Amino acid sequence: MRIGMRLLLGYFLIVAIAAWFVLSIFLQEVKPGVRRATEGTLIDTATLLAEFARADMLAGNAQNGQLAQAFSRLNQHNFQANIGGITKSRNEYRVYLTDAKGIVLFDSSGKATGQDYSRWNDVWLTLQGKYGARSTPVNVNKPESTVMYVAAPVRDGVNIVGVLSVGKPNSALEPVIHRSERRILWAGVALLGIALMIGFGVVLWINRSIGQLVRYADSVTEEHPLPLPKPGSSELRKLALALETMRLKLEGKSYIEQYVHALTHELKSPLAAIRGAAEILREGPPPEVIEKFSGNILQQNLRMQQLVDNLLRQAKLESRAEITPQPIHLVALFSALCDSREVIAHSKQISLSIDESTLKDTVVEGDFALLEQAIGNLLDNALDFTPPGGEITLSIENADDGIAILVTDTGSGIPDYARDRVFERFYSLPRSNGQKSSGLGLAFVREVARLHRGTITLENRPEGGAQARLSLPGK
């Protein structure tokens, strides 16, 4: 099982258990909570009505007094009330009044008048000066038919002369209880759903970060490794740096071997030329021959010096894991590049221009010096392979994920056999003057693109010439 799925299941299990405990407690407290609240209103009502019933009892007119008349009129009136989505259309209170012996003097339902209620808890406890309440089923075969009664004493001074009890069917509370339970259950389901969505989001984020590291690790064995990713988590960031350190150490031996073989191969030609010139000079040739071969020795020495310098610069660049990006105005960068190569372009009768219509004060994030060297290498290649009368243009192209710097020429293009190898170290094509470069220019550009988390491509144009595209990510 994938680590993301394990995290999701563990997280969801914790949330589900916590939600089950909370919901079970809430659901267990709904019914007693509603009944406790109802019991509180019943005692308030009973205490209030007992004061009204006191005058009727002292007047000996409990059956036809003010309390009885009020309930008679109440039962004749219909009403409609919408209480939080629950419709109420009738009075659900049952009120009965007993004397000091527990004999019912008045019953709002008309069923118990004259009966002895002295043994019911509400009446019996109240007559003893205690809190009297009971819950009794109307039908013993139906537990849900219980009615909750709460009584209050009717006093004449300090003497209890009667009991007024107010009852309310528990079935009237069921809609409220069911509605509360449903809302709690729906809230629980919503909580689990939201928790699951958050869990999916966290797992996707973790999988994405881990996937970047996996793709980076897999690309180490490829010819063009991916740039070091930047996960959002500090722990994953440390892991990424550890992978980068491991990659550099693992590649060290192979890296040195490749450079030694390549350097040996590149140095063979100038060393052979120097050896041959030295052997000829030992024979004491004429002055013009001495001058020619002395110049050849100096030229090959300069070639080796440039090769070593470029190799050191390339090695230093490849050992870097990241850069410190700064805002770069491409107008200033392009102008500096064109000014530095204007003399060479003029001497070769090549038009070097900037397509200013595409710039529009474009700013990118990167290392100015590295980008200047990389684009400069692309311009130098274009100058080497563009014939007199040709054109080289610097421009940019906007994309959804950033911009692309384009170096377009009208030169000879790239031979088919070299398309897959132009970015290899020490691979070089012969120039028009018959000389070869160090073969490190485009390899340097590729490393600069990697450090800027971009890409570099070099393709032939249908109308002739080549176009280098250095793609850089947006801000």
Q: How confident is the model at residue 446 (pLDDT cuts 50, 70, 90)?
A: confident
149 touches 123 (CB < 8 A) = no
CA distance 294 to 298: 6
Measured over all CA atoms, what is the biggest interatomic distance in the chain, rounded to whole angstroms?
Answer: 157
Pairing of strands 391-399, 402-409: antiparallel
Which of 22-36, 195-209, 254-268, 415-429 has the weakest average pLDDT?
A: 254-268
pLDDT in tens, 316-367: 666 665 777 888 888 888 888 888 888 888 888 999 898 888 777 788 888 8
Instruction: Calculate mean pLDDT across residues 83-111.
Output: 79
Nearest Cα to Cα of residue 345 among 394, 408, 410, 389: 389
pLDDT at 150: 92
Nearest Cα to Cα of residue 394 among 422, 377, 375, 374: 375
Give the number of other CB atoms < 10 A from CB of residue 262: 18
The pLDDT of residue 255 is above 60: no
pLDDT in tens, 122-159: 999 999 999 999 988 877 777 677 888 999 999 988 88
Write b or e for each residue in 2-19: b if 16 or more Cβ atoms lie within 10 A of its Cβ, otherwise e.
eebeeebeebbeebeeeb
pLDDT in tens, 282-330: 887 888 877 887 887 887 777 677 666 666 666 666 666 577 788 888 8
pLDDT at 164: 93
pLDDT in tens, 427-437: 777 766 556 66
Q: Measured at the alpha carbon of residue 77, what is the angle toward residues 71 and 78, in degrees to the nearest 5?
A: 125
Instruction: Give the start-end residues of each E strand in 179-227.
Output: none
If you average pLDDT over every residue of the chain, what do you get?
79
The pLDDT of residue 165 is above 90: yes
| Cα 47 to Cα 77, 122, 162, distances in angstroms | 24, 13, 12
pTM of the complete model beyond 0.75: no
The pLDDT of residue 221 is above 90: no
Q: Who wins on pLDDT, 104 or 247?
A: 104
Instruction: Calculate mean pLDDT across residues 26-43.
Output: 75
Which of 251-260, 317-326, 391-400 has the weakest average pLDDT?
A: 251-260
Instruction: Calculate mean pLDDT across residues 267-280.
Output: 77
pLDDT in tens, 174-219: 766 677 777 777 877 787 788 778 777 777 777 777 777 777 777 7
pLDDT at 166: 92
Which secondary structure element, helix H or strand E, spans residue 410, and what is its range? none
Question: Measured between alpha carbons, how far apart are the two ends of the chain, in Å?
Answer: 37
Where do we find the tokens 């009297």?
132
Percent of the chain with pLDDT over 70: 75
The pLDDT of residue 421 is above 70: yes
Instruction: Calculate mean pLDDT across residues 414-436.
Output: 74
381's CB contacts (< 8 A; 6+ apart) are 441, 442, 468
Top mean pLDDT of 22-26, 165-169, 220-224, 229-233 is at: 165-169
Nearest Cα to Cα of residue 52 among 69, 73, 66: 66
266's CB contacts (< 8 A; 6+ apart) are 307, 426, 438, 439
C-alpha atoms less than 13 angstroms from C-alpha of 187 in its C-beta half-sphere: 12
Structure tokens at 92: 């659900």
